[in-house]
């Protein structure tokens, strides 16, 4: 069946302005329209959405506008024979730059200076606290789009980069690759441990007590992946007990991060509200991907980023 309609589900508003997103499909061969819940679909419909809905299983193709599609039941899509695609491949520079923002700030103390600026205080850090990230080792766990973009940027800044990857295919700038079952060897000498893996049963709680014990006590965790990849309680304990130095976190076990989370109060933790991919042109990056897949669908080609 050919597609004759592209629906944009209102849940996209979680991350992009819905009207601007619909407008971005002006040049696409099928009309685009904003929809809410409670609608019926058939095989000639495509849907671009942030959140899953049971009725989407009647459509021809569903596009998750996020890279992480862990909230979608891929087995149900396979069983229904409905194509599911995600937005991997467009977050390299956006999420990559946020990871670098965290690393540079944690090294050069941007976060502490701003804390003190808020108090109009000319704070001088302890002599041994600031450091350059040049020549420091970073371990990137998960070398997909985001992981590779981070490795490229760290390489440009003169860092020593190692990575954790399931395949042993080399990655530009990465000096050593470790198998996932050697995670502890990979992270033990790193100043920064950067998480860029999807949230799956294998990656849930990937960093927990044993990993924090294996890490250097001056190491920082950067999580731009998904909250559950880190055991948050262990992370908080590790920072409080000086087993590691701190963290830059864009993602959390519970979002928004609850008011009473101890993370808010830790000097060496930088918190951003799951905005790794947020930029002023994010809707256009996603629309390009969806438009490309509309073309592929209509000509019977293999869809980009098909995950079910």
Kindly state whether residue 224 participates in binding ligand NAD, applying the rule CB under 6 A.
Answer: yes
- Identify residues 284-303 at the interface with ligand NAD (CB under 6 A): none
How far is Cα 10 from Cα 50, in angstroms, rounded to an integer?
A: 8
- Could you give the dihedral angle defined by the CA atoms of residues 192, 139, 98 and 21, in that order, rounded to the nearest 10 degrees? -150
Q: Does 85 bind ligand NAD (CB under 6 A)?
A: no
Which one of the listed residues 114, 129, 255, 295 is annotated catalytic? 255
- We find the least distance from the C-beta atom of residue 169 to ligand NAD, in angstroms, to be 10
Q: Is residue 277 within the footprint of ligand NAD (CB under 6 A)?
A: yes
Question: Does 100 sit near ligand NAD (CB under 6 A)?
Answer: no
Q: Which of 48, 62, 64, 67 binds ligand NAD (CB under 6 A)?
A: 67
Shortest CB 150 distance to ligand NAD, Å:
9
First CA to last CA distance, the chain = 18
Residue 295 appears among annotated catalytic residues: no
- 260: burial class by Cβ within 10 Å (0-12, 13-18, 19+)? exposed
CB 187 within 8 A of CB 244: no
Q: Exactly one of 13, 76, 113, 180 binds ligand NAD (CB under 6 A); which one?
A: 180
Q: Which two tokens stand for residue 105?
A: 């700030």
Residue owning tokens 């450091």: 131
In terms of Cα–Cα distance, which of 159, 208, 202, 158 is closest to 180?
A: 202
CA-based torsion, 142, 145, 149, 150: positive or negative = negative
User: Smallest gap, in angstroms, from Cβ of residue 210 to ligand NAD?
Assistant: 16
Q: Is residue 211 at the binding interface for ligand NAD, with CB under 6 A as the rule?
A: no
Part of the chain binding ligand NAD (CB under 6 A), chosen from 30-38, 139-147, 236-244, 285-293: 139-147
91, 153, 191, 226: which is the annotated catalytic residue? 226
CA distance 171 to 119: 44
Cβ 13 to ligand NAD shortest distance, Å: 16
Considering only residues 3, 95, 244, 249, which one is a binding residue for ligand NAD as defined by CB under 6 A? 95
| Per CB under 6 A, 28 contacts ligand NAD | no
- Number of shown-chain residues binding ligand NAD (CB under 6 A): 30
264 within 8 A of 236, measured Cβ to Cβ:
no
Q: Is 204 a catalytic residue?
A: no
Q: Does 49 bind ligand NAD (CB under 6 A)?
A: no
Whether residue 256 is preceded by a cis peptide bond, meaning omega within 30 degrees of 0, is: yes
Instruction: Output 6 or 95, the one with its CB closest to ligand NAD.
Output: 95
Q: How far is the CB of 268 from ligand NAD (least distance, A)?
A: 20
Helix, strand or coil for residue 35? strand
Which of 46, 65, 72, 88 binds ligand NAD (CB under 6 A)? It is 88
Q: How far apart are CA 50 and CA 161, in angstroms?
A: 33
Q: Among 9, 165, 243, 274, which one carries the catalytic annotation?
A: 274
Our answer to whether residue 91 is catalytic in this structure is no
Cβ contact 283:16 at 8 Å: yes
Q: Do 46 and 289 meet the contact criterion of CB atoms below 8 Å apart?
A: no
Both structure tokens of 122: 């000319």
Quick one: 60 or 96, whose CB is closer to ligand NAD?
Answer: 96
Contact 213, 234 (CB under 8 A): no
Sites of contact with ligand NAD (CB under 6 A): 67-68, 88, 91, 95, 142-147, 164-166, 180, 196-200, 202-203, 224-226, 250-251, 274, 276-277
Among all residues, which ones are annotated catalytic? 226, 255, 274
């Amino acid at each position: 069946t050919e597609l004759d309609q592209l629906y944009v589900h209102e849940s996209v508003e979680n991350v992009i302005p819905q009207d601007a997103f619909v407008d971005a499909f002006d040049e696409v061969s099928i009309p685009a329209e904003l929809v809410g819940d409670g609608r019926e679909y058939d095989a000639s419909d495509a849907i671009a959405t942030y959140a899953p809905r049971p009725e989407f299983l009647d459509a021809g193709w569903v596009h998750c506008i996020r890279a992480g599609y862990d909230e979608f039941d891929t087995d149900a899509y396979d069983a229904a024979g409905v194509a599911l695609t995600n937005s991997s491949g467009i977050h390299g520079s956006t999420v990559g730059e946020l990871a670098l923002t965290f690393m540079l700030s944690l090294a050069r103390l941007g976060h502490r200076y701003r804390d003190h600026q808020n108090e109009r205080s000319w704070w001088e850090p302890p002599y041994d606290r600031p450091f350059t990230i040049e020549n420091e080792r970073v371990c990137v766990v998960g070398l997909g789009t985001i992981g590779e973009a981070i490795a490229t940027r760290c390489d440009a800044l003169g860092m020593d980069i190692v990575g954790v990857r399931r395949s042993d295919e080399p990655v530009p700038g990465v000096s050593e690759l470790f198998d996932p079952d050697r995670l502890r060897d990979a992270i033990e000498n790193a100043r920064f441990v950067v998480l860029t893996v999807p949230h799956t049963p294998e990656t849930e709680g990937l960093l927990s007590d044993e990993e924090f014990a294996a890490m250097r006590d001056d190491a920082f965790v950067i999580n731009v992946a998904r909250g559950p990849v880190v055991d948050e309680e262990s992370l908080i304990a590790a920072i409080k007990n000086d087993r590691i130095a701190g963290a830059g976190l864009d993602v959390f076990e519970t979002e928004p991060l609850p008011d009473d989370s101890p993370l808010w109060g830790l000097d060496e933790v930088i918190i951003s509200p799951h905005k790794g991919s947020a930029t002023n042109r994010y809707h256009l990056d996603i629309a390009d991907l969806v438009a490309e897949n509309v073309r592929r669908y209509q000509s019977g080609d293999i869809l980009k980023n098909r995950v079910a």
